[in-house]
Amino acid sequence: MAKHSTSSFFFFQKKKTRWLLLLLATLSVSTAVAFIIRAAYDSSCDRHLFDDVPAVGKRFQSTEKSKASPPVVKVKVGSPLSFMKSKVVLLVSHELSLSGGPLLLMELAFLLRGVGAEVCWITIQKPPGKDEVIYSLENKMLDRGVQVFSAKGQEAIDTAIKADLVVLNTAVAGKWLDAVLNKDVPRVLPKVLWWIHEMRGHYFKLDYVKHLPMVAGSMIDSYVTAEYWKNRTQERLNIRMPKTYVVHLGNSKELMDVAEDSVAKRVLREHVRESLGVRNDDILFAAINSVSRGKGQDLFLRSFYESLQLIQEKKLQVPSIHAVIVGSDMSVQTKFETELRTFVAQKKIQHRVHFVNKTLTVAPYLAAIDVLVQNSQGRGECFGRITIEAMAFQLPVLGTSAGGTAEIVVNGSTGFLHPAGKEGVSPLAKNIVKMATHVERRLTMGKRGYERVKERFLEHHMADRIAGVLKEILHKSKGHY
């Protein structure tokens, strides 16, 4: 990570600094947790904004005190999950980090706590020693009344046996069954809901998923991923999937509150653009993902460069266009990240490409940009929640026609789809030019995307869909006792 200034937000106008800090501290994307954010400004060519540092009061203190006195949670009246009141639910996560799977499971934990369920959490893989992110996230859960304990202790086994529902989050979480439950595995399987988010082939290991046919059901984020798992497990592992439920995700209320607040969006847009060094009428195309080859930032930059050439060749009169890569991590300086920056330097487009450090709080960038580029490669995203988050901000989406993106974006209506791989470079470049040259089309697509989100991709839609699944799972598991 580039060295940061010791000051926070001092590049903002003084009159608005306190208000903006309060706003940013309440933003929560992909989870109902509100994180306290530290923003820093780097005066070099690369600016790293809103780089999340979890708030920790006294670092690495014991959490036993929080366990002993769980807070009183006000039960939400009229929630579709209200039937889960007093039910015991064990959530099993393969890891605890700022990535999509664990944060999504945390969101489910808070939805269940909100209706009065007794929720317990265990994390299978933890790094040695104390970890600040894990410490912070565990305390967020403890503050909301979620019990957190060791994945390998007797408490985990006892809770799994007495629980009304056990949710395994991701395929990797299957390792926990034999490793910890041992002889008690058959007692627990009938009440297991397996929530799968993976699309990559290396997760198809028999050691991970051999118990899949015996669980009460699986829940997957998109139809294309569900079909992929059905075919792959049968062909490669010779096992059958249990009854599988497809549950599209939804935007949190916190995100929607910001997306629908014109004042908040205007202030965020103004200051993020100021920090990036771009003008108000410049057009920003952004990829907001962790920087990796699978997310396709390299191909996006190739498309962006090609779009600049098309604009020049056709002598098109358009505002200055910029590419923003949100999700960098210069503290690691991976080979891939170096490749991206080398390409930008070789093509001499440093003034048009901006790298931003990875962040949990993406709302400021969604407010600041004009088009989201969802360029995930291979089989694409299982769902890709950033896509519906961008649509909530009335942004058109240029996405690969792979994975869950094709179930979210309506090609030609809420955005444009292009092929994954190298064959998608030129089509994406042409779509970038279309977005840059047709302002009305861009705005109309953004509005249609927002309407689509309101129709089917809100938190209450997701809660409704999950409630239907849990009712069936609970009913099915009762038949085994």
**Chain segment 50-91, per-residue pLDDT in tens:** 333 333 333 333 344 444 445 555 556 678 999 999 999 999
Give 6 or 172, the one with higher predicted confidence: 172
Burial of 6 (0-12, 13-18, 19+ CB in 10 A): exposed
Mean pLDDT for 370-387 is 95
Mean pLDDT for 396-425 is 97
Query: Looking at the chain, how many residues does it have?
Result: 481
State the chain's mean pLDDT as an integer: 85
pLDDT higher than threshold 90 for residue 463: yes
pLDDT higher than threshold 70 for residue 382: yes
pLDDT higher than threshold 60 for residue 411: yes
| SS3 label, residue 57 | coil
* pLDDT at residue 64, as a whole number: 40
pLDDT higher than threshold 50 for residue 376: yes
Rounded Cα–Cα distance for residues 143 and 121 (Å):
13
Q: Could you read off the pLDDT of 247-305 as tens digits, one per residue?
A: 999 999 999 999 999 999 999 999 999 999 999 999 999 999 989 999 999 999 999 99
* pLDDT at residue 356, as a whole number: 94
pLDDT higher than threshold 80 for residue 385: yes
Number of neighbouring beta carbons within 10 Å of residue 371: 23
* pLDDT at residue 85, as a whole number: 96
pLDDT higher than threshold 80 for residue 145: yes
For residues 435, 286, 361, 51, the Cα torsion angle rounded to the nearest 10 degrees is -150
Beta-sheet pairing, 165-169 with 192-196: parallel
Token pair listed for 426:
């030129």
pLDDT higher than threshold 80 for residue 474: yes
Name the phi and psi angles at 353, rounded to 5: -120, 130
pTM, entire model: 0.83
Pair 130, 54: CB distance under 8 Å: no
Q: What does 321-376 look like in DSSP terms, one character per residue?
A: EEEEEEEE-TTT--HHHHHHHHHHHHTT-TTTEEEEE--S--HHHHHH-SEEEE--
Element (H, E) at 245: strand 244-246
Residues of the chain with pLDDT > 70, as a percent, come to 83
- Cβ contacts of 278 within 8 Å, gap of 6 or more: 284, 320, 322, 354
Q: Which pLDDT band, with edges at 50, 70 and 90, does 468 fall under?
A: very high
Q: Which pLDDT band, with edges at 50, 70 and 90, does 477 fall under?
A: confident
* pLDDT at residue 110, as a whole number: 95
Rounded Cα–Cα distance for residues 267 and 254 (Å):
17
Q: Which pLDDT band, with edges at 50, 70 and 90, does 24 fall under?
A: low
Distance set, CA 463 to CA 256, 456, 458, 466, 469 (Å): 16, 11, 9, 5, 10
* pLDDT at residue 311, as a whole number: 97
* pLDDT at residue 131, as a whole number: 86
pLDDT higher than threshold 80 for residue 481: no
- Cβ contacts of 344 within 8 Å, gap of 6 or more: 301, 350, 353
Q: Which pLDDT band, with edges at 50, 70 and 90, does 49 fall under?
A: very low
Rounded Cα–Cα distance for residues 273 and 279 (Å):
7
CA 89 to chain centre: 23
Least confident of 7-21, 56-70, 129-143: 56-70
